[in-house]
Amino acid sequence: MHDSPGEAGQLTADYQRLAELSTPDGPVQLPAYVHVPFCSRHCWYCDFNVYERMGRLIEPYCRALIREIEDTAKVLDGRVRVGCVYVGGGTPSLIGAKLLAEILDALSVHFGFERGSEATVEANPSNTTSSSLSALVEAGYNRLSVGAQSLSDGRLAELDRLHTATEALEALDRAKAAGFRSVSADLLYGVPGQTVREFENGLKNVVDRDVDHVSAYALTLHGERAVQAGRRLGGPASDDAMAEFYGAAAELLRGAGFEHYEVSNWSRPGHRCEYNGSIWRGSEYLAFGCGAHGYLAGRRYSLVREPQAYIDAILEGRSTVQSRETLTQSDRLVESIVFPLRTRDGIELRALTHAFQFDLINERREEIDRLIANKLAELDGGRLRLTERGMILADAVALRLIPDNAGERGCE
Ligand code: SF4
């Protein structure tokens, strides 16, 4: 069910419903996502909710964001606690350590976020000095995700990135030296013109920097601007080439001691991203900031996309909710198959049957037997999970496992 945008009080009602659902023993603990929409330059391939040349809005935006945190906490009245935080964007590092510290403080004061719990912030190598990184650690951030994207200067220039390969590696060194508990590097593959050898060299470089976590994403071309630019650079990589990139990443990172714990994510032992893990397990979560998406009381919602409209709504006391969708039982069943299947932990079969009266093994016996025979999946300890080989096919496999009538049940 989609509701029309701008109806005041929708989210408040959801918060209240969530508050009613909280246990008498204590507050419900949820992850929180915070969106920082500003970037120095809007890279052509990026379709996130980002804005360039809006430096004048940074301060008022952060004030509005902090007010939204306070207002939300008032409605929830101590019945939700934030267990982990992910500040993404955009380029959070662009707004500086002082404002980022204030945002985390607000979550501590109003939502009981505890120092030492996971707090991730995304950073661009162009705005990560030793002192700003130390200030972030001091503020309580303990996980840094560095958008390196490539370790080839030519490729970085083609991608519109403002940093060089050397600057990306220096940012990783500075992050380690600053004392973050986990440092992650983001890399892209399947970039027009990129070779597998070039990608492998980039991976080796970040692994040599002793990073704790690597996210490697296939470049996808969404929208006219990206398609045109991608074509100008030689067009997107073929499916076979994508599989080669992926296989190279899996092999190299396994050899370096990383665990492949989600389709696009690898970590050293003890360095999985807790925030993402919660989302993949289907946890509800709070969202703050323009264009952010949250999930509460069985409803997914998104907030007003434009920074100025978001600020205005908060200053004028209007709802920031742009859209809202109630998940049906069928939607939730599909998500409970699709998301966990992308992770190394896989689908916990008994829990799935218990929650949805859907016995996956019986309902999809032939398909699952075929996946196992082809070494694409395995049954282990009551879980169905994909093998390393099967991971790249996660989305295609999920389509074969979901119920035939998904989307038709319509019951809530
Ligand atoms: S810096 Fe990152 S978030 Fe900003 S436009 Fe480029 S890819 Fe997108």
pLDDT by residue, tens only, the chain of 412 residues: 344 444 556 667 777 666 665 666 778 999 999 999 999 999 999 999 999 999 999 999 999 999 999 999 998 888 899 999 999 999 999 999 999 999 999 999 999 999 999 999 999 999 999 999 999 999 999 999 999 999 999 999 999 999 999 999 999 999 999 999 999 999 999 999 999 999 999 999 999 999 999 999 999 988 899 999 888 898 888 999 999 999 999 999 999 999 999 999 999 999 999 999 999 999 999 999 999 999 998 899 999 999 999 999 999 999 999 999 999 999 999 999 999 999 999 999 999 999 999 999 999 999 999 999 999 999 999 999 999 999 999 999 999 999 876 654 333 3
Phi, psi of 191 (to 5 degrees): -75, 135
CA distance 141 to 177: 14
Q: According to the model, what pLDDT value does residue 9 have?
A: 62
Nearest residue (CA) to ligand 1, atom 6: 43
The model scores a pTM over 0.85: yes
| Ligand 1 center to 223 CA (angstroms) | 15
The response to whether residue 42 sits with its C-beta less than 6 Å from ligand 1 reads yes
Point out which residues pair with 217 in neighbouring strands: 188
Angle value at C-alpha 216, between 211 and 220, nearest 5 degrees: 155
CA distance 400 to 380: 20
CA distance 401 to 407: 14
**Ligand 1 atom closest to Cα of residue 39:** 4
The response to whether residue 30 sits with its C-beta less than 6 Å from ligand 1 reads no
Measured between its terminal Cα atoms, the distance across the chain in Å is 10
CA distance 306 to 315: 14
Nearest residue (CA) to ligand 1, atom 7: 46
CA distance 260 to 179: 24
CA distance 36 to 24: 34
CA distance 128 to 273: 21
